[in-house]
Amino acid sequence: MKQEIKKPVIIVGAGGHAKVIMEALILSGVEIIGCTSLNDKIGSFCQGIRVLGGDDVIFSYKPEDIMLANGIGSLPNQSTRWDLAAKMRARGFKFMSVKHPSIIISKNVKLEEGVQIMAGSIIQSGVEIGQDSIINSGSILDHDCNIGSQCHISPGVTLCGGVQIDNRTHIGSGTVVIQNVVVGNDAVIAAGSVIYQNIPNNITFIQRR
């Protein structure tokens, strides 16, 4: 994995996902300048992290002096997280990859900018994860899985070896994807599913009980 240059970080957002990001960064010893919020008062605190103002307060900093951490959560068919990332990158800012210190991760893993791997996850050899994707708490990605950009692998998902998840796809909590299956772009897989065959693009898969 490529080592990121350590710079102080601003967390974008102060909601539930931002709190998880805050804790991961604090435990990793990252310097946090503060967070942004559209709802909280400037100067108030979220888990001990000072609220700096709305998202545009970031533009008072130089892109070369800070990194950002995306604290906006990801839900199916909602683009707020991804729109925010595009807006900031258009102004020259970059996003830190967040890795909770409790994860188990192979040295032979490729992470693009802005990837977030939450507590208790296991990432095996040969895995590649695309820009801004979330690997949420307790997920297991076995060898040679390929995750596209802007994906959300929800808590407790298991991807067996050689699974491919294409861009902007949401895999619901507790889902198991059998080895070598391909899940297409913009797909949504309901929580608790067992996926044993390829899923086309733009499909919402709900397993019958």
Average pLDDT on 22-27 reads 96
Which residue, chain included where needed, has tokens 């070369």? Answer: 64
pLDDT band at 207 (very low <50, low <70, confident <90, very high): confident
Q: 187 and 126 in one domain? A: yes
Q: Please tell me whether residues 102 and 89 are part of one structural domain.
A: no
Cα 41 from Cα 95, distance rounded (Å): 24
Q: Which of 17, 100, 143, 152 is catalytic?
A: 143
Comparing 40 with 107, which gets the higher pLDDT? 107
pLDDT higher than 60, residue 84: yes
What average pLDDT does this structure show over 144-158? Answer: 98
Does this model's pTM top 0.75? My answer is yes
Q: What is the average pLDDT across 60-87?
A: 95
Query: CATH number for the domain including 45?
Result: 3.40.50.20
Residue 115 lies in a domain: yes
Tell me, yes or no, whether 65 lies in a domain.
yes
The residues facing 9 across adjacent strands are 32, 67
- Looking at residues 83-111, what average pLDDT do you find? 97
- Residue 208 pLDDT: 67
For residue 5, the model assigns a pLDDT of 59
Q: For 113-149, what is each residue's pLDDT tens digit?
A: 999 999 999 999 999 999 999 999 999 999 999 999 9
Domain with 71 in it? 9-96
Q: Tens digit of pLDDT for each residue in 162-197?
A: 999 999 999 999 999 999 999 999 999 999 999 999
User: Considering the domain boundaries, does residue 3 fall inside one?
Assistant: no
Q: Which of 68, 96, 124 is the last residue of a domain?
A: 96
Q: Who contacts 103 (Cβ-Cβ below 8 Å, separation ≥6)?
A: 117, 118, 119, 120, 121, 122, 123
Residue 97 predicted with pLDDT over 60: yes
pLDDT of residue 63: 97
Do 150 and 187 lie in one domain? The reply is yes
| 17 is a catalytic site residue | no
- The sheet with strand 170-171 has its strands ordered as 98-99, 116-117, 134-135, 152-153, 170-171, 188-189, 204-205
Q: Give me the pLDDT at residue 77, please.
A: 86
